[in-house]
């Protein structure tokens, strides 16, 4: 999946200028230096227009008068002007390099922050390669545009206008000859812009798809090699790479055609002016120096005119890169996620872009930081707390619920690391985890598809552990994702200790709820950093306790650098059971008030599983927990069991009660893992309908 793409027709008629204006909130902190750079470039270009006047003086004066000293003076003047021109262009580049690097860093930081706050449903729809290409290739194109194309569109435009004024003042008849190609060039450029914009957008989307293929191939290299599919992957990559190549060649043909016409027409006009000028010199109506100055000025305008095609191409690629960037930034973030901190988008971005009240305004804070700090500080700020944000995502799972039978004596709910606010303390009375009439359907599901969950009612009392059991496709994982609001319930409500989770800021909600997923995700960081993502206030003591609970302390301390050992990308240097134990340790390190475990022991051998279960009982005794279970050994950790069947809570009771009274539950506990009930036609696969 590559995310939302607009129809080609809409892209072709989009205004590149309107798209590029959306960059202003990011560029605003660097406007002073950029303006100074434009002024320097204008003065440098002015030098190239003054040189022909110096030539005119030299030809009509010292050369005509056979004055050697005057010739040397004229040559020195031309040399000084040339050095000034080169020096000003060099100084301009030095002046704008740092602020534009900061603009790029700020935009990348803003995009990263925004991605961290977008809901899981967004990441389900978008391919990671498309997001990666927007944060790398597209931002590089924007930096090149701001550093080069934008400046020289202004400078070359002013140079062309000023140059033609000088030409008309020198000899208006010859000047009109050089102006003749302007109208056909304008028509050609407008046609080129529409066609090139469409080709540029196609190429950038295809590069995003290609990035996705490379990323997936690297992450899935074990599967590819294990099944001998490297040749098939090569063919798929070659096919996609061929499409990118064809699109780039199409762009090259468009640009080549434009450049050929842009170069031919002015050359023809200069040739015609030269013939007419020589005739006027021969007739005595024009001096040789004036003709040399005229032609030198015309030649000085060659590069500004010929660069139009190249600059238009860069501008259109930058416009499509801007559109792609804001496609992500315009996706609304949940209101409480916006309020919980992070980058905001500047008001200007919303006004000029017409974007929704979303993260299309994620720049104000980042741009303000950019004005007072170097680029490296912005990036360091983003990456410095990245593990914390990634940890939030990594622990973003969620329980599900339904009604529960009679209470049992359990310890009071407590949390050493998560303080209880006054409203929460009041709400604890009759608390625990409740799901009332919860319904959920995926946003991309067919309109006539039934909800994945419907009418789910469940109550897990404070300090109680509830096991959630169901066949494959019954909605267990989807239900758990609703509790930390990785997905939003379509209907009904979920409460924690009497507080509706819809009223809690996500940051607070995920302090209260910790999750261990069935598929553990580790990051390219140390073992300790991966585990401590689960508890912002946790330290070495909590780390050791969590490793002991997960029975991970033995293998962790045997690693070359203990908890400081880098686990590598996706933690693939560890076994599946080791990764799962670290994910479990991450879930319990913060001593959460609510704990969601999605089949956390599936990759463990029976001996390690028994050890983990013994240690886990101590944790479960002091928290309210929902445990997705497939095996009787995991079910026995719970005080009660809820059976989820076809998106509903079909039964709640103890393990032994349900074994005796519920045929479906008894069959699930005795059938091979992942099996289906013989009398039911269930869909296999994930929880989606």
365-383 pLDDT per residue, tens: 344 333 333 333 333 333 3
Lowest mean pLDDT among 19-33, 252-266, 581-595: 252-266
Which residue intervals of 28-127 are DSSP H helices? 31-58, 68-117, 120-125
Lowest mean pLDDT among 83-97, 335-349, 475-489: 335-349
Q: What is the pLDDT of residue 411?
A: 36
User: In terms of pTM, does the model score above 0.85?
Assistant: no
Mean pLDDT for 58-69 is: 66
Q: What is the pLDDT of residue 402?
A: 36
The counts of H helices and E strands in the chain are 31, 10
Answer whether residue 496 shows pLDDT above 50: yes
Answer whether residue 326 shows pLDDT above 90: yes
Q: Which residue has the higher pLDDT, 372 or 461?
A: 461
Strand order across the 640-645 sheet: 513-516, 594-598, 624-628, 465-469, 640-645, 648-653
Mean pLDDT for 559-569 is: 82
Lowest mean pLDDT among 9-23, 266-280, 350-364, 573-587: 350-364
Please give the mean pLDDT across all residues of the chain.
74
Q: What is the pLDDT of residue 83?
A: 81
User: Within 13 Å and on the Cβ side, how many CA atoms surround 354?
Assistant: 3
In sign, the C-alpha dihedral spanning 407, 410, 416, 421 is positive
Q: Which residue has the higher pLDDT, 563 or 170?
A: 563
Q: Which residues contact 556 (CB under 8 A, 6 or more apart)?
A: 527, 547, 562, 563, 565, 582
Closest C-alpha among 304, 307, 327 to residue 315? 307
For residue 66, give the 3-state DSSP assignment: coil
Answer whether residue 575 shows pLDDT above 80: no
CA 173 to centroid of chain Cα atoms: 56
pLDDT category at 553 given cuts 50, 70, 90 is confident
Q: Which residue has the higher pLDDT, 489 or 230?
A: 489
pLDDT category at 405 given cuts 50, 70, 90 is very low
Q: What is the pLDDT of residue 122?
A: 83
Strand order across the 499-500 sheet: 453-460, 433-440, 491-496, 499-500
- Enumerate domains of the chain plus CATH numbers: 8-371 (1.20.1560.10), 422-670 (3.40.50.300)
Answer whether residue 503 shows pLDDT above 70: yes
Lowest mean pLDDT among 196-210, 256-270, 422-436, 503-517: 422-436
Per-residue pLDDT of 115-124, as tens digits, reads: 888 888 788 7
Query: Rounded distance, CA 584 to CA 601, Å?
Result: 9
The CA R_g of the chain, rounded to the nearest whole Å, is 34
Extract the runs of DSSP E, i.e. beta strands, from 424-553: 433-440, 453-460, 465-469, 491-496, 499-500, 513-516
Q: What is the pLDDT of residue 248?
A: 85
pLDDT category at 360 given cuts 50, 70, 90 is very low
Query: Rounded distance, CA 648 to CA 656, Å?
Result: 21
Q: Which residue has the higher pLDDT, 35 or 60?
A: 35
Closest C-alpha among 368, 331, 377 to residue 105? 377
Closest C-alpha among 28, 8, 18 to residue 371? 28
Residue 624, strand partner residues = 594
Which residue intervals of 356-448 are DSSP H helices? 364-372, 375-384, 386-394, 422-427
pLDDT category at 350 given cuts 50, 70, 90 is very low
User: At CA 176, angle to CA 170 and CA 180, rounded to 5?
Assistant: 145
Per-residue pLDDT of 135-166, as tens digits, reads: 888 898 898 888 888 888 888 788 878 877 87
Q: What is the pLDDT of residue 569?
A: 66
Mean pLDDT for 410-426 is: 43
Q: Which residue has the higher pLDDT, 80 or 409?
A: 80
pLDDT category at 364 given cuts 50, 70, 90 is very low
Q: What is the pLDDT of residue 674?
A: 43
Lowest mean pLDDT among 150-159, 364-373, 470-479, 663-672: 364-373
Answer whether residue 280 shows pLDDT above 70: yes
Q: Which residue has the higher pLDDT, 688 or 299?
A: 299
pLDDT category at 14 given cuts 50, 70, 90 is low
Answer whether residue 361 shows pLDDT above 80: no
Lookup: tokens for 138: 């597209």
DSSP 466-496: EEEE--TTSSHHHHHHTTTTSS--SEEEEEE
Per-residue pLDDT of 381-404, as tens digits, reads: 333 333 333 333 333 333 333 333
Percent of the chain with pLDDT over 90: 6
CA distances (Å), 317 to each of 141, 205, 312, in order? 7, 12, 9
Query: Rounded distance, CA 167 to CA 173, Å?
Result: 9
**For residue 201, how many other CB atoms are within 10 A of its CB?**
24
Q: Which residue has the higher pLDDT, 208 or 410?
A: 208
Q: Which residue has the higher pLDDT, 671 or 182?
A: 182
Answer whether residue 13 shows pLDDT above 50: no
pLDDT category at 52 given cuts 50, 70, 90 is confident
Rounded to 5 degrees, φ, ψ at 493 are: -150, 160
Q: What is the pLDDT of residue 396?
A: 34
Per-residue pLDDT of 78-117, as tens digits, reads: 787 778 877 877 887 777 888 888 888 899 999 999 988 8
Q: What is the pLDDT of residue 671?
A: 61
Q: Which residue has the higher pLDDT, 82 or 426?
A: 82
Query: Rounded distance, CA 23 to CA 35, Å?
Result: 15
Q: Which residue has the higher pLDDT, 489 or 573?
A: 489
Asked if residues 254 and 195 have their Cβ atoms less than 8 Å apart, the reply is: yes
DSSP 588-635: HTT--SEEEEESTTTTS-HHHHHHHHHHHHHHHTTSEEEEE-SSHHHH
Percent of the chain with pLDDT over 70: 75
């Amino acid at each position: 999946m590559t995310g939302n793409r607009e129809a080609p027709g809409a892209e072709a008629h989009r205004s590149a200028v309107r798209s590029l204006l959306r960059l202003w909130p990011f560029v605003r902190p660097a406007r002073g230096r950029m303006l100074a750079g434009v002024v320097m470039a204008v003065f440098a270009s002015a030098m190239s227009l003054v040189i022909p006047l110096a030539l005119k003086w030299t030809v009509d004066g010292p050369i005509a008068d056979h004055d050697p000293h005057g010739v040397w003076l004229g040559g020195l003047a031309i040399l000084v002007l040339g050095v000034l021109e080169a020096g000003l262009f060099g100084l301009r580049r030095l002046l704008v390099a740092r602020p534009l690097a900061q603009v790029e860093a700020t935009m990348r930081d803003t995009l990263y922050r925004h991605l961290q706050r977008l809901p899981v449903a967004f990441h389900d729809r978008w391919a990671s390669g498309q997001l990666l290409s927007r944060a790398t290739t597209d931002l590089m194109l924007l930096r090149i545009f701001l550093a080069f194309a934008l400046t020289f569109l202004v400078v070359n435009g002013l140079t062309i206008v000023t140059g033609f004024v000088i030409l008309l003042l020198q000899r208006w008849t010859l000047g009109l000859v050089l102006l003749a190609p302007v109208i056909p060039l304008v028509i050609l450029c407008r046609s080129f812009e529409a066609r090139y914009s469409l080709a540029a957008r196609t190429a950038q989307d295809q590069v995003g798809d290609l990035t996705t293929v490379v990323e997936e191939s690297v992450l899935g290299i074990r599967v590819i090699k294990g099944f001998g599919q490297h040749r098939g992957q090569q063919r798929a990559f070659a096919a996609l790479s061929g499409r990118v190549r064809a699109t780039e060649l199409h762009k090259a043909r468009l640009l080549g055609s434009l450049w050929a016409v842009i170069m031919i027409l002015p050359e023809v006009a200069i040739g015609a002016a030269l013939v007419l000028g020589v005739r006027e010199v021969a007739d005595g109506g024009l001096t040789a120096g004036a003709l040399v100055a005229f032609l030198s000025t015309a030649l000085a305008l060659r590069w500004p005119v010929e660069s139009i095609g190249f600059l238009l191409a860069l501008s259109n690629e930058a416009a499509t890169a801007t559109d792609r960037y804001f496609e992500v930034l315009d996706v609304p973030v949940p209101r409480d996620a916006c309020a919980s901190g992070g980058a905001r988008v500047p008001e200007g971005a919303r006004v000029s872009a017409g974007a929704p009240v979303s993260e299309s305004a994620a720049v104000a804070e980042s741009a303000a930081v950019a004005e007072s700090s170097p680029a490296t500080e912005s990036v360091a700020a983003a990456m410095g707390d990245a593990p914390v944000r990634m940890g939030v995502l990594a622990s973003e799972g969620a329980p599900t619920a339904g009604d529960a039978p009679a209470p049992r004596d359990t310890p009071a709910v407590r949390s050493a690391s998560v303080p209880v606010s006054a409203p929460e303390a009041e709400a604890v009375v009759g608390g625990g985890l409740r799901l009332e009439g919860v319904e959920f359907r995926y946003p991309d599901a067919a309109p006539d598809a039934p909800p994945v969950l419907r009418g789910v009612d469940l109550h897990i009392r404070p300090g109680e552990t509830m096991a959630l059991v169901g066949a494959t496709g019954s909605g267990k994982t989807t239900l758990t994702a609703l509790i930390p609001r990785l997905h939003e319930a379509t209907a009904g409500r979920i409460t924690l200790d009497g507080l509706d989770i819809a009223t809690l800021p996500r940051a607070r909600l995920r302090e209260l709820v910790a999750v261990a997923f069935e598929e553990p995700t580790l990051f390219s960081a140390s073992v300790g950093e991966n585990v401590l993502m689960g508890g912002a206030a946790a330290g070495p003591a909590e780390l050791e306790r969590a490793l002991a609970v997960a029975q991970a302390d033995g293998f962790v301390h045997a690693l070359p650098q203990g908890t400081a050992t880098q686990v590598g990308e996706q933690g693939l240097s560890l076994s599946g059971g080791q990764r799962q134990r670290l994910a479990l340790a991450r879930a319990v390190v913060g001593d959460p008030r609510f704990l969601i475990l999605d089949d956390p022991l599936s990759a463990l051998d029976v001996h390690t599983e028994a050890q983990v279960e013994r240690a886990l009982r101590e944790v479960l005794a002091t928290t309210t927990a929902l445990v997705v279970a497939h095996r009787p050994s995991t079910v026995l950790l719970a005080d009660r069991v809820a059976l989820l069947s076809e998106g509903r809570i079909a039964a709640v009771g103890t393990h032994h009660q349900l074994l005796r009274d519920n045929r479906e539950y008894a069959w699930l506990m005795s059938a091979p893992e992942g099996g289906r009930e013989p009398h039911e036609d269930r869909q296999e696969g994930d929880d989606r309908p």
